[in-house]
Structure 1
C-alpha cells in the first residue's frame, strides 16, 4: 500500500472538511435536539457525505460532462445554498423546525452537503481519482475517504459534551457566530467560482 499517497489523501480531505470548524455550525443547527437525535443527525450527515463523495469519485466527471456543467458552477451552487443557511442562523429561524421534529433535513442539508461533502472535497477527490494508477491506488483513496469520514463522525459524536458546557444561552451566541462564519465561507465559495469562470473564459479566448 502506498502510505505516502494515503497520507496525502487523508490530510488533504481532512483539512478541506475541517471537523473542528464544523463543530460550531453543527451545534448551532442541532442545539435544540436531544443528545440521541444529535448523534443520529451526525451519523446521517456523515453517511450522506460519504455517499456523495464516493459517488462523485466514481462517476462525477462523467455526470458533469453529461450535464455540461463545469466544476465552478457546482462550487457557486454550494455557496448560494450556504448563504440561505447562514441567513437562517443569523435571524434565528432554525429553532422552530428543530422543535417540530424536522431535524433530519438539517442532517442532510446543509451538514451532509454542502458542508461535509462540499465542492472542495468533491473536486479534491475527483483529482485524486484522475491521478490514481491501478486498483491499489483506488483502494488507497477509498481508505483515505473512510478514515476522514470516521474522524468527522467521532468529532460530531462527542459534540454533545460541548452543548452541556455552553447551555442554551451559549448555543444562542454560538448560532449567531456560526451564521456569520458560514456567510463568509459562502461568499468565498461564490468568489472562487466567479474567479474560476473568468479563468475558463480567458483560456477559451
Structure 2
C-alpha cells in the first residue's frame, strides 16, 4: 500500500488540516454568513466555498513559495491580512449587516468566495501547513498522500456545511440570528488570534 500512497503522511495531512480548518466549527459561522439565503442558495454557497478553498490550497501548495518570494510577502503578513479581513466580517455579523438583503442578488456568491472560501476555510494556517507538507514530499506516494488528504478534509468541510441546512430548519430565523451573533464573536476571536500570532512572528523575526 505504501508503494501507492504513504499512509503515515496521509494521516498527518488529514489530522493537521482537519484540526486547522475545523469542519464542525464552520457550522455556526456558515449559518451566520448565509442566514438570509434559501436552502438552495446555501447549498450553492457551500459548493462554491469548498471549490474556492480547494483552489487556494492547491495553488499555494504548488506555487506558494515562489509567489510570496516574488512579491516579497512574508507568511506573518499573509496571516495578519487574513485576520483583518475576518475581523471586518465579524463586525458585520455582530451588527446584523450580514442579514440585510442585497438587491444585486450576488450576496451568496461573494460570501462563498470571501470570507468563506478564503480566509476562513483556506486561511494562513491551512496554507502554511500544506506548503510545509509539500516541502517534505520526496516521492510519488507522499505526493498522492497529500492530495488525498486535502480532498478528504474538504469533503468533511462540505458535509459539515450541508448538515448546516438541517440545523437551520430546526433553529428557524430567530435561532439563526442568535447563531450569527455567536459566530461573530467566534470569528472576532479567531481574527484577533491570527493578528496576535502574526505580530509575535514579526517581533521574533519569524
In structure 1, the residue matched to 2:21 is 17
**Given the alignment, which residue of 47, 53, 62 partners 1:49?**
53
In structure 2, the residue matched to 1:93 is 97
The TM-score, its normalising length taken from structure 1, stands at 0.95
SS of equivalent to 2:112: helix
Coordinate RMSD, CA, aligned: 1.1
Alpha-carbon displacement from aligned partner over 1:39-96 (angstroms, at most 9, x marks no partner): 0000000000000000000000000000111100000000000010000000001122
Q: In structure 2, what is the Cα distance between the partners aligned to 1:95 and 1:170?
A: 13
Aligned 8 A contact 2:36 2:100 in 1: no
**Given the alignment, which residue of 7, 13, 35 partners 1:3?**
7
| In the alignment, structure 1 residue 115 sits paired with structure 2 residue 132 | no
Q: In structure 2, what is the Cα distance between the partners aligned to 1:99 and 1:8?
A: 45
Alpha-carbon displacement from aligned partner over 1:105-133 (angstroms, at most 9, x marks no partner): 00111000000000000000000011111
Q: CA deviation at 1:97?
A: 3.9
The TM-score, its normalising length taken from structure 2, stands at 0.95
| Counterpart mapping for 1:57-136 below 5 A | 57-97=61-101, 101=105, 102-136=107-141
| In the alignment, structure 1 residue 196 sits paired with structure 2 residue 204 | no
Q: In structure 2, what is the Cα distance between the partners aligned to 1:197 and 1:138?
A: 31
Q: What is the number of residues matched between the two proteins?
A: 201
Alpha-carbon displacement from aligned partner over 1:125-171 (angstroms, at most 9, x marks no partner): 00001111122211110110011101111111121100011111111
| In the alignment, structure 1 residue 160 sits paired with structure 2 residue 165 | yes
SS of equivalent to 2:166: helix
